[in-house]
Structure formats: C-alpha cells, structure tokens
Amino acid sequence: MKKSTPATIEDVARLAEVSIATVSRAIHMPEKVAASTRLKVDRAIAVTGYTANAMARSLRLGRSNMILAIAPDIGDPNFAPILIGLENEARAAGYGLLIGHTQGDPLRGVEYLKFQNANQAAGLILFTGYVPTDPNQPAPRLPPMVAVSEPLAQGAAPFVGVDDRGGARKMVELLIAQGHRKIAFVGDSRDRLSHHRRRIGFDEGLAAAGLRAGQTVMDADGTLEGGRAAVERLFLRDDLPTAFACVNDQTAAGVILALTARGYDVPRDFSVTGFDDIPQAGFLSPALTTIRQPRRQIGQTAMEILLGLVEGVAPDEAETLLMPDLIQRSSVGPVPQGRRY
C-alpha cells in the first residue's frame, strides 16, 4: 500500500476484481449490484481507504458539494449561531460550508460569485439582504439561494428568519403591561427590511392598545453609537418617553449608556428593550430585556430549504418565520410614578 497518492476507484476495482463501473454502482446504487460483489467491493474500499475524489465527482456531475454563505460580517454575534446551524445541517447532507465575508462592501460580494461561476458552489446563503451583482457584467447565472437574517428586497429568494413584527409587538405589549404609555422606538431605517418590520410590529402593538398617537420614532443605524446619538437628539425635545423600544441590542446598549451617562437609572427612570439577544445582552447593566432569535434553528431550516432547492424541490413558503422568545431581564420596570417632564 503506497500512501504517496490517495486510492482511486481504479485501485478498488482492481482489488475487488471488478470494473470501476461496478464499484461506482456498489457505492451509489447498491441495489443494482449482486450482494456478493457488493461485499467484495466494500472490503476493497476498507482496505484501500478509498474516498471518492470530490473534484472529479463534481466535474462529472456538474455540481459541487459546497454551499457558499455570504455575510457582511462573520464576527457579528447574530451570525455565528446561524452559521453553526447551517454548517451542521450541510455536513449532515455531505455538503461543506464556504464562507464569504463582504465587510459590508456590496462589491465584495461580487467577488464570491466567482466561486459560483467556477462551479464551486451548489447554492448560496445570503445574510446581506441583497443579491451581489456586478453592474458591469451581464447578470450571472444564479444558483439556488436562500436569504437569512435579512430578507431580499423583491422576495427574490426564500427567506428564513424571525418574526420581526410579532417579536416587536410582544415587546411593546410587555412595556404597555408595565404601565408605559409613551414609548419611543429607536432604530427606524429604510434600508433594512428587518428593522422596518420591527417598526411595523411596534406600531401595531401601540395601535392595539389605542396608543397610536403621540408615539416617537427615532432614526438610528443599528449601532451602539446610533443608539447613543438618538437619545441625545431626543433630550433636545421636551416630551420624553418613559421607555425605549430599540430595534436591536446594540442600539439598546447605546441608549442605556447615554441614559446612564446623564445620571439616570435604568429601569427606575427609563425602561429599555432590545432585540436579538446577542451574547453581550446579559452582561449589560442592567441586563437587557430582549427578544431571542432562534438562531441555530434559523440556520438549520435555511439549509434544509436550500438543499431542497438544489435537489429541485420548491419550498413550501416564500418566508419561513420563526417565533422568537421574550427574554425578561432587568432593563424593564414599571413606569415611574408621578414623573413629569
């Protein structure tokens, strides 16, 4: 047994005294080959330690066993568990997960399409909210895609994510139950569909309680800094809310920081809520009350759908929305009595 070069199907065939076609069949369509032959082949495979050369296989089949995930930032605490879910599911099906990191630069995404063009990816998972395309090149042939974390603009691909609207609504209901009547939404954005949906859920929740009027909505870009800045802008006005419903946890962290810096206590003076339940959320002080995304589950479901698509089966729904859990920690309290501004 020379180990200089890995065993090929031919080595197995020689050892089992059959043709290479029979070996291939023994592996992929066992019922088509006689039991005795199958046994010989299996033994030969064990002896040689044969593993099919994936390159040759993909070349022949015209389809690779890689799934490409394109994310703006792999380090985003929201993405990691989704990636794990994706990866687990992919591996179970014999696929590998290739990662692409665009650093928020749309053009970077285009670079990864090379992998697709080069037949190196059977499918695409998009965290970006848009399909990477090069304006100069003619539209490339796109493989099966599934969007995750952020839906695609025109519903161009199935989306798997959390029920943003329902989650936001739950959050508002909690605040209302605590007596809050003036609640500011921090993080309105036209760019991110998921954030927009949270805003809608917020509106719905207020409307359901007959509080539609007098709400405050602050633009913010979803970063800690954005949250902080929004609070500063808000304090320039005279009608302050008693609670801040933030579009995500980063924003909430910024809001808490700004409030604390001004000498207020959360939740005694103001209540603050987040969304996503990033790992830091529990370490903020006060620990953040937020909405937990079932991230692992999202990854798993998305990969299931994508692999189905690769096999040619259409998904049941255009959007698979998972219901998030409300995680109550200590950043929400009853509305302060007799406070006036």
**Partner interacting with residue 114 (select from DNA, its own copies, none; CB below 5-8 Å by kind):** its own copies
53 lies in the binding site for DNA (CB under 7 A):
yes
Where in 199-258 is the site for DNA (CB under 7 A)?
none
101 lies in the binding site for its own copies (CB under 8 A):
yes
Query: How far is residue 103's CA from residue 70's CA, in Å, rounded to a whole number?
Result: 10
**Partner interacting with residue 28 (select from DNA, its own copies, none; CB below 5-8 Å by kind):** DNA
Q: Decide: 201 and 167 in contact? Cβ < 8 Å.
A: yes
DSSP string, 279-325: GGGGGSSSPPBEEE--HHHHHHHHHHHHHHHHHTPPPS-SEEEEPPE
Q: Decide: 123 and 69 in contact? Cβ < 8 Å.
A: no
What number of chain residues touch DNA (CB under 7 A)?
A: 29
Up-side HSE of residue 16: CA atoms within 13 Å toward CB?
Answer: 28
Among 15, 44, 45, 50, which residue sits at the site for DNA (rule: CB under 7 A)? 50
* Residue whose entry in the numeric block shows the structure tokens 């990854």: 299
253 lies in the binding site for its own copies (CB under 8 A):
yes
Query: How far is residue 318's CA from residue 121's CA, in Å, rounded to a whole number?
Result: 22
44 lies in the binding site for DNA (CB under 7 A):
no
28 lies in the binding site for DNA (CB under 7 A):
yes
Among 39, 46, 56, 313, which residue sits at the site for DNA (rule: CB under 7 A)? 56
Helix axes 35-48, 9-16, angle to 10 degrees: 130
6 lies in the binding site for its own copies (CB under 8 A):
yes
Q: Pick the closer one to its own copies by CB: 140 or 308.
A: 140
- If phi > 0 it is left, if psi is from -120 to 50 it is alpha, else beta; for residue 92 that is alpha
- 33 alpha carbon, distance to own chain's centre: 43
Query: Closest by alpha carbon to 161, among 192, 115, 203?
Result: 192
119 lies in the binding site for its own copies (CB under 8 A):
yes
Strand order through the sheet with 183-188: 216-219, 183-188, 243-246, 271-273
Here's the x/- map for its own copies, 277-296, by CB under 8 A: it reads as --xx--xxx-----------
Residue type, 103: Q
312 lies in the binding site for DNA (CB under 7 A):
no
Q: Pick the closer one to DNA by CB: 46 or 323.
A: 46
Cβ 275 to its own copies shortest distance, Å: 17
Among 5, 136, 154, 337, which residue sits at the site for DNA (rule: CB under 7 A)? 5
9 lies in the binding site for DNA (CB under 7 A):
yes
10 lies in the binding site for DNA (CB under 7 A):
yes
142 lies in the binding site for its own copies (CB under 8 A):
no
Among 14, 20, 178, 240, which residue sits at the site for DNA (rule: CB under 7 A)? 20
Helix axes 20-28, 35-48, angle to 10 degrees: 100
Three-state DSSP state, 40: helix
Residues making contact with DNA (CB under 7 A): 5-6, 8-10, 17-22, 24-25, 27-28, 32-34, 36-37, 50, 52-53, 56-57, 59-62
For its own copies, the binding residues (CB under 8 A) are 1, 3-4, 6, 49, 51-56, 58-59, 64, 66, 73-75, 77, 80-81, 83-84, 87-88, 91, 96-101, 111, 114-115, 117-120, 137-138, 140-141, 253, 279-280, 283-285
